[in-house]
């Protein structure tokens, strides 16, 4: 009897138990099986609801099925403070501070993919702790003009450098079960008229310069989401663009993730349905702009879409495709049962921010060995400049972070020297004061400089409008607030002058011959001041390299040489084609102020001779390049060994140098290391618009290895045979 009862209970319980776990919730099932199972349980209304925002930074899940809401956050330098449900204004939480990491130009300047992994992992942990689904970053729009207000958020002018640096960032973030959202796809290379400008660019420049970092993020980084840009391409807004989204991103690259609109980047329901957009955000967000309190229902992908479906005007094929992608996002993030828990404001994150900041700082010039500062030789330091005391993780637009604290440069310097020597501070200028106030600040600063053993000028730009700031571009290539005159005057009264420049863009330096040492310090985030002090006093040997060229004057930049910026508000034509950044300087033999890849160290490096393992290869073969590098100075240091390729016999014009490899090596004094590179099809090919493919043409190639794009130390040639 007992046996029968047990058997009966088992027979009843088993199916019940089995029913408890629907397929879509069963993590042991393949992703696509779970997606299809969830999809078939959804109503059309639930599906449409998933396509658009329900608040400033969130979209609904499906509560009935236990599918959580989707929460987005900026990105890319720190986890943005919470904003009100319906507004950009901060919500006033007291527990939403974060670690502000250095801006992405600084990360790019490390030329170290390990730093990128550390960055992604750390910021991903903070995003996860704050329970975010998607981190809106990193940004990889190519640096086309120094006037772009958003350059500080991106990874420089070279597609290869940006590609190598974006991949580990994405992987590091996503290890945490948080999606990276690579932005702004594509051709968002200026802020001025960003909503209305249609970019005209030839296919070679598109494929060789503007797309590679996105492609690498998708194919190698396996990014789970991507953000459409504000601008237009081929007459369609990038957020719903047949060419960029359907043809290239999904068709050519096989992207299976979610396309998120930029906030307010959606403009048309029909295009949004057919041209590849999945999630619409920020179309209007104060509940008022469309004159009703249910503004989210009026989004392009909300009621207007539902009405079209209900009236039979459009089918549900696209809807199901969009929802599949959104479900994939849920399973990869909030519904991943193995998702880690994250952490925030941890000692490890502060340490990561400091290390990245230190490695990214670029020593541009160091005449007469002014740096590092020897504390035994100075008694009095004058620190001058507003940026010595300005917190820079604030402002600048959507990338602003509410860092729990920020060590500003003056604080970092004072902390380092402690009471060993006297440190005087003078602002020298004020970004907010009147002309007369500025005149007296100028006078006071010059006076202070006169009486000091060494002057540390800490200036540059800030995150105010028309500086390094989203939404607008710079109005001048010169530094603001009459800093050029101030620096020149300081150099007259004290030749021991170090310029520490805090900004994310290139600028004119009419004073560069009068200032022996120039340090490009970027925006260093929470630990900025400590990183700067470590470099100035030699605690850290600088090893950063420029991720973009510094032209002497703005007309030396290609876009400006062609008068091809900013366009007329409706169109901008990238007339320089593939000759962006150093590719243009090399072609035109223009000497930059500081070249792409430039950066000095407190030690010196000797380059030996390149050897190649073959002299002739087939187009599908690899070639191995070896070069010995020696630390010939007397202190430990890291060098970024850079490899450029030149195609010497080509049917189409090609740049004289294209970066195709780099390695950062750390060497003790006297130590030699052999650095190897493997060069193959990807490094040798160019994009042919006619054949719509990448080809390696037979002929002679040159490999150039050096310490900067304008400082090649050894080269060798080889042939590619048919």
Which residue ranges make up the site for ligand BGC (CB under 6 A)? 74-75, 136, 183, 262-263, 398
Question: Can you give the C-alpha Rg of the chain in angstroms?
Answer: 27
Q: What are the structure tokens assigned to 395, written together?
A: 């402002």
Q: Which of 500, 533, 536 is nearest to 515 (CA)?
A: 500
For the bound state, the minimum distance from the C-beta of residue 161 to ligand BGC, rounded and expressed in Å, comes to 21
DSSP secondary structure of 527-561:
GHHHHHHHHHTTSS------SS-B-SSGGGSHHHH
For the bound state, the minimum distance from the C-beta of residue 149 to ligand BGC, rounded and expressed in Å, comes to 11
For the bound state, the minimum distance from the C-beta of residue 148 to ligand BGC, rounded and expressed in Å, comes to 13
Between 504 and 599, CB nearer to ligand BGC? 504
For the bound state, the minimum distance from the C-beta of residue 215 to ligand BGC, rounded and expressed in Å, comes to 20
Between 301 and 667, CB nearer to ligand BGC? 301
For the bound state, the minimum distance from the C-beta of residue 196 to ligand BGC, rounded and expressed in Å, comes to 15
For the bound state, the minimum distance from the C-beta of residue 279 to ligand BGC, rounded and expressed in Å, comes to 12
- Catalytic residue chosen out of the listed positions 262, 468, 489, 534: 262
For the bound state, the minimum distance from the C-beta of residue 282 to ligand BGC, rounded and expressed in Å, comes to 6
End-to-end CA distance of the chain: 84
Question: For residues 161 and 544, is the Cβ–Cβ distance under 8 A?
Answer: no
Put residue 342 in one of left, alpha, beta given phi > 0 → left and psi -120 to 50 → alpha.
left
For the bound state, the minimum distance from the C-beta of residue 721 to ligand BGC, rounded and expressed in Å, comes to 47
Between 212 and 228, CB nearer to ligand BGC? 228
Between 233 and 594, CB nearer to ligand BGC? 233
Burial of 691 (0-12, 13-18, 19+ CB in 10 A): exposed
- Any idea which residue has 């991106």 for tokens? 154
For the bound state, the minimum distance from the C-beta of residue 399 to ligand BGC, rounded and expressed in Å, comes to 7
For the bound state, the minimum distance from the C-beta of residue 332 to ligand BGC, rounded and expressed in Å, comes to 20
Cα–chain center distance at 681 = 27
Between 106 and 499, CB nearer to ligand BGC? 106
Reduced to 3 DSSP states, what percent helix, strand and coil does the chain have, rounded to the nearest 5? 30, 20, 45
Spatial separation of the C-alpha atoms in residues 119 and 353, rounded to whole Å: 8
Spatial separation of the C-alpha atoms in residues 321 and 323, rounded to whole Å: 5
Task: Show Cβ contacts of residue 372 under 8 Å, excluding neighbours closer than 6 positions.
Answer: 535, 536, 537, 538, 602
Between 75 and 357, CB nearer to ligand BGC? 75
Between 35 and 72, CB nearer to ligand BGC? 72
CA atoms within 13 A on the CB side of 596: 31
Spatial separation of the C-alpha atoms in residues 634 and 649, rounded to whole Å: 43
262 counts as catalytic: yes
Spatial separation of the C-alpha atoms in residues 214 and 339, rounded to whole Å: 25
Between 70 and 602, CB nearer to ligand BGC? 70
Which neighbouring-strand residues pair with 701? 647, 718
Which residue blocks in 44-158 are alpha helix, DSSP H? 44-49, 104-110, 113-129
Q: What are the structure tokens assigned to 202, written together?
A: 């030839």
| H or E element that contains 200 | strand 198-200
Between 318 and 473, CB nearer to ligand BGC? 473
Between 230 and 644, CB nearer to ligand BGC? 230
130 C-beta neighbours (distance < 10 Å), count: 20
Spatial separation of the C-alpha atoms in residues 409 and 404, rounded to whole Å: 16
CA angle 479, 480, 486 (to 5 degrees): 75
Distances (CA, A) of 658 to 112, 213, 676, 693, 699: 18, 15, 18, 19, 17
For the bound state, the minimum distance from the C-beta of residue 470 to ligand BGC, rounded and expressed in Å, comes to 6
Q: What are the structure tokens assigned to 82, written together?
A: 């919470």
Between 183 and 660, CB nearer to ligand BGC? 183
Spatial separation of the C-alpha atoms in residues 96 and 404, rounded to whole Å: 9
Mutual orientation of helices 113-129 and 347-360 as an angle, nearest 10°?
Answer: 150
For the bound state, the minimum distance from the C-beta of residue 74 to ligand BGC, rounded and expressed in Å, comes to 5
Buried b (16+ CB within 10 A) or exposed e, 590-622: bebbbbbbbbbbbbebebbebebeeeebeeeee
Between 483 and 505, CB nearer to ligand BGC? 505
In degrees rounded to 5, what are phi and psi of residue 338? -95, 10
DSSP secondary structure of 28-69:
TS-HHHHHHHHHHH--HHHHHHTTB-SSSSEE--BGGGTBPP
Active site residues: 262
């Amino acid at each position: 009897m007992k046996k029968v009862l047990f058997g009966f209970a088992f027979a009843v319980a088993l199916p019940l138990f089995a029913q408890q776990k629907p397929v879509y919730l069963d993590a042991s099932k393949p992703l696509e099986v779970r997606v299809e199972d969830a999809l078939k349980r959804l109503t059309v209304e639930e599906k449409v609801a998933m396509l658009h925002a329900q608040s400033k930074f969130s979209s609904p899940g499906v509560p009935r099925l236990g599918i959580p809401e989707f929460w987005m956050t900026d990105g890319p330098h720190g986890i943005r403070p919470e904003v009100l449900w319906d507004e950009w204004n901060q919500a006033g939480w007291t527990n939403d501070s974060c670690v502000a990491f250095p801006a992405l130009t600084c990360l790019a300047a490390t030329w170290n993919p390990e730093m990128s992994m550390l960055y992604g992992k750390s910021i991903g942990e903070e995003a996860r702790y704050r329970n975010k689904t998607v981190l809106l970053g990193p940004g990889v729009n190519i640096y086309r003009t120094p006037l772009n207000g958003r350059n500080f958020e991106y990874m420089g002018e070279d597609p290869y450098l940006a590609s190598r640096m974006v991949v580990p960032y994405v992987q590091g973030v996503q290890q945490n079960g948080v999606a990276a959202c690579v932005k702004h796809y594509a051709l968002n290379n200026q802020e001025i008229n960003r909503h209305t400008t249609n970019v005209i660019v030839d296919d070679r420049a598109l494929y060789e310069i503007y797309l590679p970092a996105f492609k690498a993020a998708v194919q190698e980084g396996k990014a789970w989401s991507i953000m459409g840009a504000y601008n237009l391409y081929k007459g369609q807004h990038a957020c719903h663009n047949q060419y960029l989204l359907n043809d290239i991103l999904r068709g050519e690259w096989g992207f299976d993730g979610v396309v998120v609109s930029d906030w307010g980047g959606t403009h048309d329901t029909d295009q949004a349905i057919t041209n590849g957009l999945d999630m619409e955000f920020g179309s209007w967000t104060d509940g008022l702009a469309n004159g009703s309190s249910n503004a989210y229902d009026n989004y392009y992908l909300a009621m207007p879409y539902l009405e079209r479906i209900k009236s039979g005007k459009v089918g549900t094929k696209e809807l199901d495709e969009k929802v599949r992608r959104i479900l994939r996002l849920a399973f990869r993030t909030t519904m991943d049962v193995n998702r880690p828990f994250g952490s925030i404001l941890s000692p490890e994150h502060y340490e990561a921010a400091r290390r990245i900041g230190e490695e990214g700082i670029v020593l541009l010039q160091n005449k007469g060995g002014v740096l590092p500062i020897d504390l035994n030789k100075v008694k009095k330091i004058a620190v001058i400049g507003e940026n010595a005391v300005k917190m820079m993780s604030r402002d600048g637009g959507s990338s602003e972070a509410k860092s729990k604290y920020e060590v500003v440069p003056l604080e970092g310097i004072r902390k380092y020297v402690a009471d060993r020597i006297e440190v005087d501070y003078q602002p020298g200028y004020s970004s907010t004061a009147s002309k007369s106030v500025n005149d007296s600040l100028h006078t006071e600063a010059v006076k202070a400089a006169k009486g000091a053993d060494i002057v540390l000028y800490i200036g540059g730009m800030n995150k105010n409008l028309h500086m390094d700031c989203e939404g607008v571009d710079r109005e001048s290539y010169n530094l603001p607030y009459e800093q050029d005159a101030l620096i020149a005057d300081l150099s007259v009264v004290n030749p021991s002058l170090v310029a520490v420049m805090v900004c994310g863009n290139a600028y004119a330096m009419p004073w560069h011959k009068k200032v022996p040492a120039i340090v490009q310090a970027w925006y260093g985030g929470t630990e900025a001041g400590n990183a700067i002090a470590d470099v100035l006093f030699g605690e850290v040997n600088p090893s950063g390299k420029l991720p973009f060229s510094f032209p002497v004057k703005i007309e030396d930049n290609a876009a400006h040489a062609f008068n091809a910026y900013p366009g007329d508000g409706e169109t901008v034509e990238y007339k320089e084609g593939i000759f962006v950044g150093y590719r243009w300087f090399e072609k035109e033999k223009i000497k930059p102020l500081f070249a792409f890849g430039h950066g000095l160290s407190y030690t010196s490096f000797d380059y030996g001779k390149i050897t190649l393992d073959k002299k002739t290869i087939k187009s599908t073969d690899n070639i191995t390049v070896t070069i010995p590098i020696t630390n010939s100075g007397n202190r430990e240091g890291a060098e970024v060994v850079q490899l450029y390729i030149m195609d010497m016999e080509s049917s189409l014009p090609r740049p004289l140098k294209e970066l195709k490899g780099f390695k950062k090596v750390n060497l003790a004094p006297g130590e030699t290391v052999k650095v190897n590179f493997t060069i193959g099809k990807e490094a040798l090919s160019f994009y042919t618009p006619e054949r719509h493919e990448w080809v390696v043409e037979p002929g002679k190639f040159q490999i150039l290895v050096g310490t900067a794009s304008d400082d090649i130390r050894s080269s060798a040639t080889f042939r590619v045979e048919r």
